Chain A
């Protein structure tokens, strides 16, 4: 009889990996898990992990945002370093919650890009647009899997009567502080981003990389023959041009609606998060750090608003799954991949603009039963398909299909989500 797959990970992943039926091994503590830390620190960390991974005969390391990525001397080239996991022949999967350009802040861009091109690192990307973008830029081993809700002890009872107070709440920070900063920009640097924004207005499903490389040919694609530094340079230019586009999306998808609702609804709308006052002069309540309190708040407010940040082009953010998992009623701004995860109007509802947002709020405040039914159906969907345990199961399946992991069965069968992954190289 084969032993269950051994997955080394962080406490964040533990319940989901366990629920998926795999053996969990918590990685030993490091001085810091800051994903911006320099490579030298990651090299020091490599010694701690190497012995742990060897001693426990780990099959897979699972991570968020490269927090636990460490380096060790390469066995093939003594003067070079490699991922510790790669040295040991263990697949390393990091689920990117934040944009690529927001991680490894203290690492030189060319080094960052070289690590990204490492085949020993499987990049779990949560939206199709970003997954395609990285593939187009020449990054290997991309897996597309949506975000999910972390496994927890969920309250599955119908929604309680709402608390007195705000009728609508949004939990999150402003998506962009750039427009309120003292920064300035050369007008020419706005050109690509605004062209892409113009195209997106006419073709909402078209991601930036297709506009930049395919439609407008603003730059050449990083060729197979080019060296890694040349590819890093093209990718660097690409992300610089994308910055304005992301800032535009930040306003379009999140900040504008927060401003609009605060202006229209006043105290009936609660902004739970930081920086709203500093960025836009909007009154808000502070971020809720205790997850239990946050999740209960999602259930207690009649309408839980979901607004995406500027780094989201086609996918769903973690709030889509959190709000529904904890049984809240979610009213969200439309995004292209939403219909792939939820039935709109049955498991959540959407709005497309300010006028519709106000209408839907008015409607759902008058139809509490419908709100409860939708919240319950949304919860059912997320708990059966969109927990991180489902994602881990699917991930392992994909790794097995690609022969990255041995083809052995999981410890116990669990319902499988229907997803269309990007091919693993």
Chain B
């Protein structure tokens, strides 16, 4: 495949790692995409149209640097998007808020452009992705950040070269609290309200609080004019400005101040702005890339703190520290557990007291630190490089060979459209409650039953369920009631009633480490025994690692009533005798369900999530 890349290093290397040809394109804004104003983007449009004869499959940029315009015929005031004229899909990796990324572009032009279906917006934070989708922006793809493809030192950490210090690498990102002038108290209210909701419901985003909980503005509607849309989103993002500042303080600055005061010389602060903002001593940024990655291996503990524009997602440092093989201790973020196994591949802290306790603990347990760093590195190098992200992107924007078509909407949005308010949700293969968290956010009033058979995982699930007001059930779901052997793997989310298929595509990072006898039930029996009225079941989620068809066999009665099914489906055999997507698809269609959409996973070549609704 030939991919046009707007001069950005990590995407170019990702293309090369996957064996694609790269066609270098000139970015808007003279190297800094954020300075690309309308004139610069018109000029870029002219240059790109001049290269019309160079066939590429798609254009890929960083920070919207590939967004270019071409005057529409004689009417110089009317603009066309160059990528559309070119007949190419533009994929933009948006790692900063829109107001920063497109600071030199008129918002009316921007929001008109965002309506382009041929412009895929790659957004690393799930809350931001959902926000854009709910503003009616098409083709928004949530794609976590990643580590660049480059050679990494994969040898175990050398303790003798590891300085006994805690290090944070990153700049001070908000000038809000050091800005001159005064702010009107009334302008702070939306952010304070959203913050209060977020404090009590950590899964709730600013969008949720602003529109769903507090109706602080009128949501954007599909039939809104561009002027209405711009007025609404401007109001929204203005209100969100203070929320970002609050989050910056909550997620990052407070801990930097705290550690500087508590650890003194044992804390290394590397990055710009801390001295000016808070009078904290800090070292300048590391200029050499090699030294930068080496640094993570040379300190005992790398603290990672996201900045104020992260609501749920992970920053690039999560992947850089682990890719380099450093030990990472990070503040908990909602998306962390979908990328790393906490406690095994990185460590987290919840507050100041916990931070000090964890630093003390890991300083005194260097071997555990090294083991975590190694596992984290293995995870990132196998799943979280930009080449992995590119592979997923290509699965989405280009028709895959196996003829499955992924949706660009999210399962949550589709579920919401199908069933706005759910009564009962059965979360089978709940792990520690990651999906239950999303279900709770989607359906605040639903009864959620979480099935997880493995004791160690269940114990954590039970703790998490308390906060979620969900019901944990320590059982696997299958086609019969009784006891069965669960195959435990290095990644608890891959534990399965089926044996692992040798040489499967996941074998490089997940393998069987033991077994455990677990209770199994059929969903039909369990619902009957627990007085669950079949007609109240709105959603069944199955993520049971190859045992999906067995679980569906055990729910034949329930399948006459359940409104929706969200099923993880495999495209390749990962477990012995596991049914693949076509088999599950056929079975559910026989049961009276229609296929609604297929959503890509982190490994879209191997599996995805399929949504079905009762006909």
Also in contact, A354 and B201, with CB within 8 A (given A187-B178, A195-B249, A252-B196):
yes
Q: Which residues of A contact B249 (CB under 8 A)?
A: 191, 194-195, 198
- CB distance B350 to A202 under 8 Å? yes
Are A358 and B214 in contact (CB-based, < 8 A)? no
A-B contact count (CB 8 A): 116
Query: Do A355 and B182 touch (CB < 8 A)?
Result: no
Query: How many residues on B have C-beta within 8 angstroms of the other chain's C-beta atoms?
Result: 40
A306 to B147, CA, bound (A): 50
Is A136 engaged at the interface, CB distance under 8 Å to the other chain?
Answer: no
A216 to B353, CA, bound (A): 12
Q: From A247, A251, A359, give the contact of B193 (CB < 8 A).
A: A251
Docked CA distance A362–B176 (Å): 42
Stretch at the interface among B253-261, B492-500, B548-556: B253-261
Q: Is the CB of B213 within 8 A of A215?
A: no
Chain B contact surface mostly = helix
In the complex, chain B residues 318-360 whose Cβ is within 8 Å of any chain A Cβ? 350-353
| Residue pair B201, A353 in contact (C-beta under 8 Å) | yes
Q: CA of A358 to CA of B182 in the docked complex: distance in angstroms?
A: 38
| Chain B residues in 8 Å Cβ range of A355 | 201, 440, 444-445
Q: How far is the CB of A419 from chain B (nearest CB, A)?
A: 27
- The residue in chain A whose Cβ has the minimal distance to the Cβ of B250 is A198
Residues of A within 8 A of B177 (CB): 187-188, 190-191
Indicate whether B86 reaches chain A with its CB closer than 8 angstroms.
no
Q: Across the interface, which residues of B come within 8 angstroms of A180, CB to CB?
A: 185-186, 189
Q: In the complex, which residue of chain A has the Cβ closest to the Cβ of B189?
A: A179
* Binary contact readout A164-204 vs B (1 if CB under 8 angstroms, 0 otherwise): 00000000000000111111111110110011011111110
Query: Contacting B351 at CB < 8 Å: which of A199, A259, A356?
Result: A199
Does A260 belong to the interface (CB within 8 Å)?
yes
Contacts of A185 on B, CB cut-off 8 Å? 182-183, 185
Say yes or no: B258 contacts A260, CB within 8 Å.
Answer: no
Q: Is A425 an interface residue (CB 8 A)?
A: no
Contact of A199 (CB < 8 Å), options: B179, B184, B254: B254
Contact B254 A256 (CB under 8 A): no
Tell whether, in the assembled complex, residue A358 and residue B178 are in contact, meaning their CB atoms are under 8 Å apart. no
The distance in angstroms between the C-alpha atoms of A186 and B186, with both chains bound, is 13
Q: Is the CB of A216 within 8 A of B258?
A: yes
**Chain B 167-196 interface 0/1 with A at a Cβ cutoff of 8 Å (1 = within):** 000000000111101111110110011011
Q: Which residues of chain B are within 8 angstroms of A178 by Cβ–Cβ distance?
A: 185
Determine whether B246 belongs to the interface, using a CB cutoff of 8 Å to chain A: yes
Residues of A within 8 A of B469 (CB): 356, 359
* A182 to B196 Cα, complex, angstroms: 22
- Cα A356 to Cα B201 in complex, Å, equals 10
Q: What B residues does A188 contact at CB under 8 A? A: 177-178
Q: A217 in the interface, Cβ–Cβ < 8 Å?
A: yes
In the assembly, what is the distance between CA of A181 and CA of B201, in Å?
Answer: 28
Among B438-482, those with CB < 8 Å from A are 440, 444-445, 469
9 contacts between A and B (CB under 8 A): A184-B184, A185-B183, A188-B177, A188-B178, A198-B246, A201-B195, A203-B352, A251-B196, A259-B193
Cβ-closest 5 pairs across A and B: A355-B444, A202-B351, A198-B250, A353-B200, A184-B182
Given contacts A187-B179, A195-B254, 12 further A-B contacts (CB under 8 A): A181-B186, A184-B184, A185-B185, A186-B181, A186-B183, A187-B176, A199-B351, A216-B258, A353-B200, A355-B201, A356-B469, A359-B444
